Every structure is written in structure tokens, then in C-alpha cells.
Structure 1
Amino acid sequence: MSKNLSDGVGYLERSIDWKQGLAIALGVPLLILPSLGYLPMYLSAAAILIWGLSVIQGFFQNAAYAEMATTFPKASGLPGFAQQIFRTENYKGKYDKGKLIGGFSAWSYWFAWNPVLAIFAILVGGYLHGLFPALGQTFSEYQLSLISGLVIFTGLFIINWFGLKEGAILGYVLAAFSLIPLVVLTAAPFATGHVELANITGNWLPADWSWDAHHILILFGIFAIAQWSACGWETAAIYGPEYKNPAKDIPKALFACGIICLFSYVLVQTAVIGVLGVDGVAAEAVSPLIPVAQATFGQAGSVVTIIMLIAAMILIIQTAYLGSSRALHSMSTEGNLPRYLGPSQMSVVRAV
């Protein structure tokens, strides 16, 4: 049996380092993809600034998570932090406010990640429909989404059944097929001159924009969408009980993922608006990267981009799948859900 097993939480083995934690969280830099066309519809090129500010705010937020992971190395992820912080010392009653706040935190965290599974399974079905027109003659886009979701979730269940390290290996593979093409696709338009700065500087805000209550409310709503995506790399901290050295590994994983997010959220949106313009982005709101690839690399670029987007969707689903499952595990460990929903002794055997 691993000598570090007893140091984990809820029979979780301390088996990953910061690089593996980063691999699991690498779906977060790709969370911008569904909103690339949405934010410019309301804020034009100022969407670039919104993404940048959201990522910067994420650094402050995740610095707090890193500090809590260092202070409470045996807490069961983010919900466990809440229970540790709000727990009443020497409390003799049956229920403590820490358990209530921790349970609410865990359910909220689960609820934030769980819709990602359905959203991106639907997107995979749409991309498959576009990549293989022959499939459209046999299956509808809705049916493809159901089939792809079933295949993806079954595969992730099997792979992650054997432990978090296997999930990290899958993260490395999916990142190679998604992040590397995304970097090339983002940098190439700047190198080839397809990015026109006038598309950005000449359309900084919508023509009818005014700083009244209505538009400020829209701004807050856009920030909410951006924050949901751009600050999500806190998922690297939820695996605190499984890091070999959480005090060092978690801050490294969070900072590295944050740097990648800063590149992804700012430069990808800049490239898309710079090539297509605000009106062009609005016309291709679902997948504006495809016409960018086509403009830069021709028809072959659009095919490669669709493959990249499918890999990116699966990587995002993997990140959400693990994040939501760890929230349920935390609630079981902390007593907010029945214990039998948590790990069994067989989990210990598999971890050894």
C-alpha cells in the first residue's frame, strides 16, 4: 500500500504533481470557445478587455484557493475549505454552520460544472454534423449529440475509474490535439497579416452604447458569463487531497493554468475580431474560429479546426466531469451526503 495513502482524504491517494493537476484543468483555457461570438454581439471589440479583466480577477481569486490549500492540506477540495473555515471549534451540537456552508458551497460548485457536460456534448454533435456531412443523412444533429455524449461519458467513466493519474494522461493527449492547434490558429493570422487592427479600434463599443442603467446591467451580465469561464481554473485546487505536496503543487498548477488562460482568452478573441470584424463574428457566432481558419489556411484549415474543436470539447467535458464528481465526493466525505456515495475500501485497493 502506498505510504502516502493515509495522508489523503476519504481514501484518496496523494499521487499527482502540479503538471498532472494542470493537465486536468487544461479544459478551462478552452472555455472561451462557446462565447467567442457571443460577447462581441453585445460589447463589440471591448469583449477583449472583458476577458482580460476576468482572467486578472481570476488570479486574485485563485491565489486565495492556493492559500487555503496550503493551510488546509487535508481538506476535501474547495467545499472542504469552506467547512474548515466556518467550523465552530468544540461544537457539541448535531449540526454546525460549517457543514451547512460547506454543503451549500459543494452543491453550488457541482451545479456550476454539471451543465458543461450537456452543453459541450451538444456542441460535439454539431461539429460532427459539420465535419461528416454523410452522418447528417442518417442522424439528426440532436441524435448525434446524444450518441456522442453517451460515448464520451462512458469513455471518461472507464478511464477515470482507475484513478486521477489516468485522467491526467488523457488531459495531456487532448491538450495536444486542442491547445497546440489553437495556438497555431491564433498566431497565424497575426503573422500572415489577416488581422486588421481597424476591426478592433474602429469598433470598440457598439454604436448605440450609452452608460445608462440598461447597458450597465448588460455589462454585469456579460461579466458574469466571462467570469464563469475565465476564472474556472480553480478546478486545479479541488484535487488538494490527491497532490503529493499540495502546498507547492497547487499554487504551481493554478499559476501555470492562469498564464495559459490569459493567452487564450485575450489573444484568441483578438484574432477572431481582427480577422472577421465584429459583424463577421456576429454572423458566425457559434464557431467563428472556422472562418478564421479558412481565411488563413484555406478549406483544410477549417477541417483541422473542427477536429481541434471536438478535442477541445472533450477536454472541457473531462475537466467538468472530474470537478463535479469531486464536489460529490467532498460532500460524502464531509457528511453532507450518505457515506456510501463516497469511496469504498475497493477504492483503496485500486489506488495502491
Structure 2
Amino acid sequence: MTEERQVADWAATPHVDTIRGTLEQPVAPRPVPPRRRLGRGPLISIIAGGAAIVLLAVAGVVGFSVGTSSHSPDRPVRAFLDDLTAGRVDDALSAAGIEHGKDDVLLTDAAYAKASGRVTGYRIAATDTAGDTARVRAYLKQGGRDVAATFTLDKTGTDWGVFPVWDLEAPRLGQVQVAVSGPGGTAVRVADQEITTSKDGIATLKALPGEYSIAVDGGKWFTADAQRTTVSGFGGAVGSVPVTLQTTLTDAGQQAAKDAVDKWVDGCIASTETAPPGCSFYAYGEDPAYTYTNQKWTLESRPVVAVSDWVSRGWLVSTTTNGRAKFTADISNSAGTGTASAGPMNVNASGYITGFTDQGATFVSAVGNGSSDSGS
């Protein structure tokens, strides 16, 4: 097709403005009501309300969990052991309801600070609850080892009607038991606290877990080797093995003992009786036909003694060499005058040193009126 032909064909086409007819109208879509937007305020309120419910639920769960934990039976045990490991003895005793008085000299902050091998830590092993009673088993870190301990608690009520309240029963304390082989009323220092023994030489002290030093205070007269004893844990068969302190006389005590023996011998020699009371020698065979005057004892030699360990009545005094004494008297009757004599006879000074005062030793003879002597 030529270019001229193409132009003729386009010329024969009607112009768009000359076209007439009926146009089919398109179907209009059904109007859709506009979606109502919520205001910002109500939306936030709904979200906040839902969040509040969730938070309240979470808070309730957390609160119940915290309340349950804070009211568990091991809580009072932990409080007691926390105070104890920190050396707050007064607080620990108060928390556990442990009664103590002025004679309980080891149950103080100062005394416990002097003990070694104290409780330095702990761990709770288990808690068993049966009705209104709970038992908490723990291990105490004491002296580098674990010591088992069981604590008993009683339910005494509830908080807010929900959470149980547990009270710790006072744990049974151990004891430091001391037996002094020495006079009753001897001063003893335990963890630097001074006490005195009973008349039979015994002292028993309540004590917290720990290792305690024990020493006799015999002044210048007697002494004993210092010892240590350990109180392990609480409850059950606790308490230290009784510690026996065997006393021995010092040089001053030995001299005082021998001085006391000499004083006793001198007292017997000073007697004017043929049988000096409480003495180990006597004379006999008086003739009732004579009158006796100027009666006296003369000591020819002193007994030699040795003082050894304490026995049931005192430090034992043994006579290693008997002394010798002689009795003389003037006699007279209607027939005339003369002299009478007895001995020399043994002077036995065996006995006991029963104690000391500021003036020295006290000696008690174990023999009397020559019961172990032949007499003359």
C-alpha cells in the first residue's frame, strides 16, 4: 500500500466528534459503609485493662511464691545460723529461744569469739513437714568438716490466713565438761572465761559448737596442762568428752606442802600427852602408882616425805623415811622420884595436802596415834 492510499483510507474514517449513539452506563458498585475507627482513648483503655489483669495475675503468682518462700520452715533456721556464723550470739540465742543466764559464761559474743572451730557456714539439706511439725536437716561447716544437725519447728499460726508461721524449737546445746583432779572450788578458765569447780571438782557449761581451751588457775601453788575440747553440732548425743585436768604442785606448792607436814609434826611434838591426838606416834605403859609431871616429846629426826598426784582426798603425801621421837616424864610417889621415857619411836607423816590458802598448804594425816607404828 502506497503512502497516498493510506492517507485516503484515514480520511474516510469519521471523526470521533461525529459519532452518535447510546452509551451503556456502567453498573455503579454498592456503597460500602465506612469502617468506624476507634478513638485512641478507648483503645488504650482496653489494652491497659487487659495488661492490668495480666499484671495482677503475675503479681499474684509472684506474691504467693514470695510469701510461700518467706514462710518456709527453713527460714527461722537460716536466721539462727546466719546470726551464729556472724558471731552474733545474743541474737542467735534470742532467735532460737535458747534460755541462758549469768552462769552460762560461754554463751556470749566475747566467749564465742575466743573459741576456734566455730560454725562458719551451713547448707540446708532437706525439709520434712508433717502436720504442724517440720524438721529441717542441715550441714554445719565446723572446723573444716560437715556436721549434721536437725532442727524442729512448730506451726504456731498463719499470716493473712494463708501462710504458715513456724517457730524454731530451742536446739539442744552441747556442753563443756571439766573434771579437775584438785581441790573443790578450783578456778578454771574456759575460753578466757573464769569459773570455779564444785566441791567435787566438776564444772559443766552449756556451749555452742566450737573448740574451747581449758586451763586451771592454781595460782602459785599448783598447775595442770592446758587442754582443748570440741563441742560438735546440736541435738542428739552432743557435748564434749569430759576433760580431766590432772593437777601437779609447783615448786612453791611442793615447799608449802612440806612446810605443812613439818608444822603438823611440830604440833604433835609440842603435845604433853602420851598419845597426842591426831598424831602418828604415842607412848603407853603408864604406871598408875606414879604421878607424871614435866611430860614432853623430843623430836630426834624429822620424817622425809614425797608429795605426788592428787587422789580422792588430796595430793598424796608418802613418808619415805620415818622420823624418830622420844617421850620423857618425871615420876614420883611415896617411895621417891624418878624419870620415865618411851622410844625413840617412828614418826609417820603420811597423809594428804587438801588445799591451799594465802598462808600455805593444809595437811591432814592419814594415820593417827601410831596405828601404823609399833609404839613404845
TM-score by length of 1: 0.21
Higher relative contact order at CA 8 Å, sep ≥6: structure 1 or structure 2?
1
Question: Which of 1 and 2 has greater Rg?
Answer: 2
Give 1 or 2: higher strand fraction: 2
TM-score by length of 2: 0.20
